Structure 1
Amino acid sequence: MSEQQLITILSDGEFHSGEALGLALGISRSAVWKQIKKVEALGVSLESVKGRGYCLPGGLNLLSEEAILSAMSVQARALLHRLDVEEVIASTNEQAMAQAQTASGLSYVCTAEQQTGGKGRRGRPWFSPYARNLYFSVTRQFAGGAAALEGLSLAVGVVVSDVLACYGLDEVKLKWPNDILCEQKKLAGILLEMTGDAAGPCQVVVGIGLNVSMSAIDSSSIDQPWVDVEAILKQRIDRNSLLAALLDAVLPLLAAYEQQGLAHYRQRFIERDAYIGKPVYVKLGDRVVLGDCAGIDGSGALLLDTDTGRVTFNGGEVSLRGVHAAGV
């Protein structure tokens, strides 16, 4: 018996006695207690009341392969090789990369309730509380190498923000090169990884982390302002339906990107650019450049208007910050 079976029972938010849990799981009361401790070790807060048993306050909306697939469009499912829903893994990107070559022109998708080694841009750890957010990775094979991928993270940000806007997040903005903001706080992040021939056939993994419901979670380890979907909308969100909607947007984008390129998404990115026309600073190593954000060029590079003229920045170790927000 795994702790996931116990979480599934407790996910309804109701109280369950130790005796009832033992009968449902076919184990002893002492074994139930051990499993309770394993669940708590995942960061899941349980309530225990003498005479009533154990409860997971508010319940949990657990991910379900069947629920996700049934909510996806026929068109998106036709682009899908396989969907894996994991409980706890090191990284959805790592698992997707290992499966990237098996998809035969279709996309493989991996999602998980929790990551123990999830990473954001520049190797930063991605905070991954159990069953609170969305962490998923999508693969796609590209024939044209790295050149065909120019601006892909920006295009992914556009379609993800479109989905969120449809959910009612009217103020969702994009921060170059791979962050999604709302109320000037981080809502989601995108991480692209590539393997194969940089000038020929290659496999790309698009990793997406979206804060859905973590307002009640200890997030003291996060070193920047953040917000989640439910806090903005002030209502519960079905993570399965939201993930299906995101896959409905991301899978067709990846399938058509070599033909469409960033040109198909550039203006939409600029319209949602969090810093367009605003004073910002760009940090590249020890170099700091001040200027006004002028959007992006046709390849997805950041444009900055400075006192000495327009400067272009590509990805890599470049860090973009608003001047006033940073206190510069």
Structure 2
Amino acid sequence: MMPWDLGVLLVLAVVPPYFELRRRGSPTRVYVIHMAMFVGLLVAGLMTEGELSLALLMGAVLVRSGTVPVHVWVTDLFKNCSFGTALLVVTPITGMYAAMRLVLPAQPPEWVLQGIGGVSLLTAVYAAGMSVVQTDARRFFAFLFLSHASLVLVGLELHTTISLTGALALWGSVIVSLGGFGLTLRAIEARFGRLSLSEFRGLYAASPSLAVCFLLTGLASVGFPGMSGFVAAELLVDGAVVASPVVGLVVLVAAALNGVAVLRAYFALFTGDRYTPRVPLGITVRERGAVLALTVLIFAGGFFPQTYIESRHQAAEMTLEDRSAEKPAVAPAHP
């Protein structure tokens, strides 16, 4: 796909959420401002050349990925849009795809990759800390997603085979696990309305299957052993520690805070005084099918990760080889 073809698709992807916000009578100002910034940076980057082009494209990637300080549109979207539409917009982590197709192939200088990595690392820790203290379930999920998306982008800056393999593997794992986590939250919302995490609701007795799915997908997203995100998170951490012990420590702090946030949300929603519903709240046949499919994917990726990790490793090696091949050769020194 040519850069302009991809650019057109990236621009078109921001249009449907705007019309849904309008249809629901929700405010659109925050979303429009940020998406206009994204489109402007993207178009300007595609129209220019050299380091200026890469700097503009880097800015577009950071806006689309919701990095600090341009992350407000993500929380605003989850607040004002339907949960399903918000999931479709953010869960694929489109900013990562744009970076892989538009920034990395152009052989960016070190300062571009370090800029992406530094801002993403800050966002990963900030968003993880914010997810721990949220009292609204949608805002909690939005910040949890922002932290994971930023961790994926951190692997690009390290530009080693291990770190890039971990980033690519974590990308796929986050789409599955956080996608399932969001669907579980949406299913709970369909029964109880907008959810608050400020009190213990005791919903386990009313819907134990959803409680299990909530915990399963949440733990998978933070890299619990035996699940799809475990190997990917280990690769990313190993690559970060090799590149810089400080970066590795920050990545571990962000991952630990995300784990705390997931467990806190689980205890707030499903433990405490038993909730006695007036209508049946058990899991439906369609939801059961989705839960089983997610469970298979999560545990298959955890116990049999070889094929997937090998394909991500090959993609990382090819990406780094292409970058090395395009770098100008250094003339040998004359005696």
Task: Report the TM-score range of the alignment, normalised by the length of the smaller protein.
Answer: under 0.3
Normalised by the size of structure 2, how large is the TM-score?
A: 0.25
Structure richer in helix, relative to its length: 2
- RCO (CA 8 Å, sep 6+): is it higher in 1 or 2? 2
